[in-house]
């Protein structure tokens, strides 16, 4: 059975964790292929809210194997806390049993967090992601597979500390790294993870050859892609389809489905322009009803109407075979819903995103309007979803105006919706295929 890729199609925070959790029921492996603990995936099961930053969302499915892939940057201390919390909650430590860390994944060290804390321009999470990717590109990074080679190498420790401290001083940081602390950190990482480090690309490739189903789980979203996003207000990795198989250590021919996740509106955090951003009562409604605060940082998310210019760009880059629409319930109670279908830039109508951040900041949205639909409580939305799935009626269980909104989005995107999310609960999703 081939692999399925799950990607964010907006600026991240679209609800990838919930979808991966649902799809993982039929999967043998879930592989994170890029990013680090700048991601935040939330899974709601009944009254239990699970928040992950590094662990793949498939961890809730006990029969599912988990991989932190080649393209990731991993903070071993953050991962240890997630694993410790998971063990306290479930009694399971999956390291080396069903959780594997790629020998090619890069390690986030305290030095990288020190460097990232100096950022004031991009609005990063400060988790050390960018500096770790920078070391990777500069070919001076530390990978999990390198630990056994350098753990007793005093020369490596000394030269690395000299380099790190020179960089910190040049950047204006007062933090410093000592040989004792770096050596202790390397030994701690090895002691805690040596049993789970492996050639994960080979593991996944073998599973595919045996006909097992693999989910490749992305972090962030297409508009945060280092190459295809709203540069420079982006993350430090390739978040799109082209990196899904590469970051997992397999070839792209294994991928058959690419599901793009989008909210029924749009949000972003950090700096950078968002043409459909709302600073009015409708924006307050989306932020309040949608509980729009970042899983990783707690920062308030900026909210706006659905942006078809963004979606065209994301679809061109990723070639979505289906769209998972989330948070439709949040639009409930609005009298009018708008969809941005184009931008006006310097007096001209454009249908595609400019590459320049300053040009995007000058773009004004061109909207079409549709009637709104009634709001419901989360328990009511959950019952609507359960009935839709049990009766096999799909989105016909929804109010007529909500059905029309979904149909309009499908028509404009040219991609069918495969599911409709109407609440945070795992079961508050209407399956359409």
Q: 280 with 239, same domain?
A: no
Burial class (CB in 10 A: 0-12, 13-18, 19+), 350: middle
Looking at per-residue pLDDT, the higher value among 60 and 334 belongs to 334
Predicted TM-score (pTM) of the model is 0.93
Same domain, 90 and 210: yes
3-state class (DSSP) for residue 300: strand
| pLDDT the model gives residue 319 | 97
User: Which domain range does residue 360 map to?
Assistant: 262-431
Q: How many CB atoms lie within 10 A of CB 196?
A: 21
Domain boundary among the residues 232, 255, 278 is at: 255
How many alpha carbons fall within 13 Å on the CB side of residue 329?
24
Find the helix or strand (DSSP H, E) in which 76 lies: helix 76-90
Q: Where are the beta strands (DSSP E) in 146-249?
A: 197-198, 214-217
Q: What is the pLDDT of residues 160-191, one digit of tens each?
A: 999 999 999 999 999 999 999 999 999 999 99
Same domain for 113 and 73? yes
Q: What single string gives the DSSP state of each residue in 134-169?
A: HHHHTT---BGGGHHHHTT-HHHHHHHHHHHHHHHH
**CATH value at residue 327:** 3.90.170.10
Residue-wise pLDDT tens digits, 371-415: 999 999 999 999 999 999 999 999 899 999 999 999 999 999 999
Q: How far apart are CA 235 and CA 226, in angstroms?
A: 6
Hey, which residues does 181 pair with through a beta bridge? none
To the query of whether residue 41 is one of the catalytic residues in this protein, the response is yes
- Confidence band (pLDDT; 50, 70, 90) for 426? confident
Claim to verify: residue 32 and residue 151 sit in the same structural domain: yes
Domains of the chain: total: 2
* C-alpha–C-alpha distance, residues 59 and 21, integer Å: 8
Which entry of 13, 70, 116, 307 is annotated as an active-site residue? 13
Residues 240 and 268 reside in one and the same domain: no
Helices (H), 290-377: 308-318, 357-362
Q: What is the pLDDT of residue 96?
A: 87
CA 118 vs CA 126, 165, 235: distances in Å: 8, 15, 16
List the catalytic residue out of 21, 41, 185, 246.
Answer: 41
Q: Is the pLDDT of residue 359 over 80?
A: yes
Q: Are 224 and 370 found together in one domain?
A: no
Compute the distance between CA of residue 332 and CA of residue 223 in angstroms, rounded to an integer: 26
Model confidence at 296, pLDDT cuts 50, 70, 90, reads: low
End-to-end CA, the chain: 18
Q: Which one of 255, 273, 301 terminates a domain?
A: 255
Measured CA to CA, the distance from residue 415 to residue 409 in angstroms comes to 9
Q: Look up the CATH number of the domain holding residue 199.
A: 3.40.440.10
Burial 198-232 (b: 16+ CB within 10 A, else e): bbbbebbbebbeeeebbbbbbbbbbbbbbebbbee
303 φ/ψ angles, rounded to the nearest 5 degrees: -120, 150
Mark whether 175 is an active-site residue.
no
| Co-location of 66 and 125 in the same domain | yes
> What was the pLDDT predicted at 120?
67
256's enclosing H/E stretch is: strand 255-263
Looking at the structure, tell me whether residues 248 and 294 fall in a common domain.
Answer: no
């Amino acid at each position: 059975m081939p692999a399925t890729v799950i990607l964010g199609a907006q600026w991240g925070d679209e609800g990838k964790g919930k979808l991966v959790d649902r799809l993982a029921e039929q999967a043998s492996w879930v592989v994170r292929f890029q990013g680090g603990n700048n991601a935040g995936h939330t899974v709601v099961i009944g009254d239990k809210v699970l928040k992950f930053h590094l662990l793949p969302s498939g961890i809730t499915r006990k029969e599912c194997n988990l991989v932190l892939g080649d393209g990731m940057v991993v903070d071993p201390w953050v991962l240890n806390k997630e694993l410790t919390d998971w063990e306290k909650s479930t009694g399971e430590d999956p390291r080396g049993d069903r959780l594997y860390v790629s020998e090619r994944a890069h390690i986030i060290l305290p030095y990288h967090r020190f460097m990232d804390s100096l950022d004031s321009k991009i609005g990063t999470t400060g988790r050390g992601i960018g500096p770790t990717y920078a070391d990777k590109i500069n070919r001076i990074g530390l990978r999990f597979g390198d630990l056994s080679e350098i753990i007793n190498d005093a020369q490596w420790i000394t030269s690395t500390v000299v380099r790190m401290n020179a960089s910190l001083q040049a950047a204006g940081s007062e933090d410093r790294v000592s040989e004792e602390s770096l050596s202790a950190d390397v030994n701690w990482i090895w002691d805690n993870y040596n049993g789970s480090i492996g050639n994960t690309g080979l593991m996944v490739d073998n599973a595919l050859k045996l006909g097992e189903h693999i989910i490749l789980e992305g972090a962030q979203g297409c508009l945060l892609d280092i190459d295809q996003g709203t540069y420079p207000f982006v993350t430090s990795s390739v978040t799109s389809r082209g990196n899904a198989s590469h970051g997992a250590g397999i070839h792209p021919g294994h991928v058959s489905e690419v599901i793009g996740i989008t909210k029924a509106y749009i949000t972003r955090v950090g700096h950078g322009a968002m043409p459909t951003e709302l600073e009015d009562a409708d924006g307050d409604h989306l932020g309040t009803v949608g509980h729009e605060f970042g899983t990783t940082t707690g920062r308030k998310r900026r909210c706006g109407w659905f942006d078809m210019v963004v979606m065209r760009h994301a679809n061109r880059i990723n070639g979505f075979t289906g769209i998972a629409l989330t948070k439709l319930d949040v639009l409930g109670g609005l009298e009018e819903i708008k969809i941005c279908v184009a931008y006006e830039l310097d007096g001209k109508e454009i249908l595609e995103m400019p590459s320049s951040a300053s040009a995007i900041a000058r773009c004004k949205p061109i909207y079409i309007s549709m009637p709104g639909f009634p709001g419901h409580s989360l328990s009511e939305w959950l019952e609507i979803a359960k009935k839709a799935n049990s009766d096999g009626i799909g989105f016909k269980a929804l109010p007529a105006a909500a059905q029309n909104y979904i149909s309009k989005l499908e028509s404009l995107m040219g991609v069918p919706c495969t599911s409709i999310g109407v609440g945070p609960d795992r079961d508050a999703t209407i399956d359409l295929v």
